[in-house]
Structure 1
Amino acid sequence: MTQQHFDVVIAGGAAIGSATAYFLTAAPDFTGSVAVIEADSSYRHSATALSAASIRHQFSTPENIRMSLFGTQFLRQFKQVMTVDGDCPDLAFHEGGYLFLATAPGLATLRQNHAMQSSLGADIALLDPAQLKSRYPWLNTDDLAGGALGLSGEGWLDAYGMMQGMRRKALSQGAAYLNQRVVGLDHAAGHIRGVLLADGGRISCGAVVNAAGTGAAELALAAGITLPVHARKRSIFYVQCPRTLPGCPMVIDPGGAYFRPEGQGYIMGVAPPADQDPDARDYDVQHTLFDEILWPTLAARVPAFEALRCSRSWAGHYDMNVFDQNLILGLHPAIDNLYFANGLSGHGMQQAPAIGRALSELITTGTFQTLDLSRLGWGRILNQQPIIERNVV
């Protein structure tokens, strides 16, 4: 067994890991070697591949808004930047917008969020019930007090193609991808000396990035660190409806249920009630959730959905930060070379480009250069000071 060495080892090669590998190998001031270790080279169980594949600017936390604004910029330039040997995946990025709906109790929060989003450059319009009804006659607005609609920059895309495009570009720039699993960390005196692999191998390293998604907490524990990230199952349903919904965006109902167009039908989902949302590793679809909560909720919002037919469904997982539903980014004070990018809570695909850029800056310069994300570091976790993101979908 030959021992290998890489300057940076990234544990997890999906959206976050591949974005980090791309930005590191593209950085002119980084001349080191990069290894991405990913057990599932098909990515068929990755959160990105099983997600609703969308991007939005409508968050309540400034850092989340800025990261997703960069994500849109990245997507718009994707073909130009990610082309390898004249070939680049077509992401089919459709800027159809997000529409967040609010009843009277939620209107003040909607307006507050809109003011922040607009101040940071997001292109969001506030609509009153009459404007909602005029624009979307298929929408039941009887109980609504308003809505916030993304006019540009928000929408949906081929998330799997995005991930594979970043992976291919990183490979072309010298990153190595190893079809393996990190099962342990060789550490002493606050420093990671190497990663231990499932086949018994060991790779020595200069730095490690924990981009392991739902496996992140287990990897952190190998360094003696408790990471408040849990795997929470989310089911998505693809339905067909006898009526079309002209101009349909990604609609977020006040209770959190969502739907958007996809091909000739619509995809939809909703988080389970908090007391029915345990840690989960299986991929069994929550059909009861659809029958008892999702369908009734959305049929009340869109009367045409009373006649919908569910033709397929699937389940994936959020790497949920149960502390405050926000990203945990950067070094932990106990280990001087273990970088975290975990707990995206459903925002991973859309914020992966900004996170990859931020990690590359931290690793090469020791500080955030483009966007200050220091508030999302370990300090708030260790000091019990949560940053609450109101718009978790």
Structure 2
Amino acid sequence: MFDSLSSRLEGVFKKLKGHGKLTEKNVEEGLREVRMALLEADVHYRVAKKFIADVKARALGQEVMKSLTPGQQVVKIVNEELTRLMGESLEDLNLSGTRPVSVMLVGLQGSGKTTTSGKLAVYLKKKGKKPYLVPADVYRPAAIDQLKKLGGQIGVPVFPSETEMDPVEICDKARTAAQKAGCDVLLLDTAGRLHLDAELMAELVRIRDAVMPSDILLVADAMTGQDAVNISESFDKALDLGGVILSKMDGDARGGAALSIRAITGKPIKFIGVGEKLTQLEAFHPDRIASSILGMGDVLTLIEKAQSVMDEEKAVELEKKLRKSQFTLEDFKDQMVQIRKMGSLGDLIGMIPGMKTNKQFKNLDVDETELVRIEAIINSMTPHERSHHQVINGSRRKRIARGSGTQVQDVNRLLKNYTQVMKMIKKLNKGGIRGFGRGMLPF
């Protein structure tokens, strides 16, 4: 989402690092380019102006000018100021109050409120909460049906709203229903409009005053750039928002909204939607986003993703197999499946420090279908073949290719790669297997 901004900033910092000693002139020239990069990323002009002024004041200070590595010091300052701009630390949902508490989701039509409600329910379930979905958009029957369908998919109860009901009545009755169902968090999916109007705001104020939610979250489409900032201001003025969820951050969003909302409204971004799957809602960590923008990677998020999908017992078992060079094709497939659960390989590679700005990886096109093909090939093997790949002769290869809808060459390539991995494992075992991380693929 910040690729263009990252690329521009990389060029600026490369020039600054090239100067053995920085002067006021080359600092100003560099920051002028940074300002242009921010504006091109759709950052609000007032935010960009203040950001550059703050960086400049620090960059021309003693800590930089007398440093042995002034260019790197400027990058450090920019990283710290970007983090401060976006809120410095993670701000989670406010769930204080008598159970069940209510979290109200508001926003314009098409911003992704209903899907985000489902994603938030999944997030809360992982936190040990018992969410209850409430369709309060009676003007769009499809929204009610969609939320009921999502609730069924994720195993979360949904209030049986009808289009003839009053939205305030729905939210009020839902609280009683949630109590009976043993739920502790109501997620209110309210109505939106194509544009802001007094009627919409009046209805949202009525719902807020009736249920007294512990948190009110605006779901804003990151693709709308500066409009997302303006929309945030309008909703905050009417409802006093608790925070913002930026949806569709995996699209062609230039990132300006993420960098501007906190500075303009004073309200934190609490979550970002990074894909269409219901598991693809992430807490917003300003420090990690800043590091990612500057090409420093996001190792903490990568680790958290791994921990969320890796089975600790299986990881320990795999480590024992690796030490004994007993890594089978079945293990190969299991590890690949777990890594795929973490998200796209392209996104995972981008979280590794240096990869985003590395020329070899910057334009890397990761073919996710290759992983699907490998899994299909292994699934077409018998249990004995997966454990004893040596028995897979020519006729077996043809059968496996037919069963997986692939070519014999694909089967040959997989077996060749697997054999090379096994050779590498045996070599490492001779000198100690400590180079392998628990539960991760060794290639």
TM-score between both structures, scaled by the size of structure 1: 0.30
Q: Computing the radius of gyration over CA atoms, which structure comes out larger, 1 or 2?
A: 2
Q: Which has the higher strand share?
A: 1
TM-score between both structures, scaled by the size of structure 2: 0.28
Task: Compare relative contact order (CA 8 Å, sep 6+) and give the higher one, 1 or 2.
Answer: 1
Q: Which has the higher helix share?
A: 2
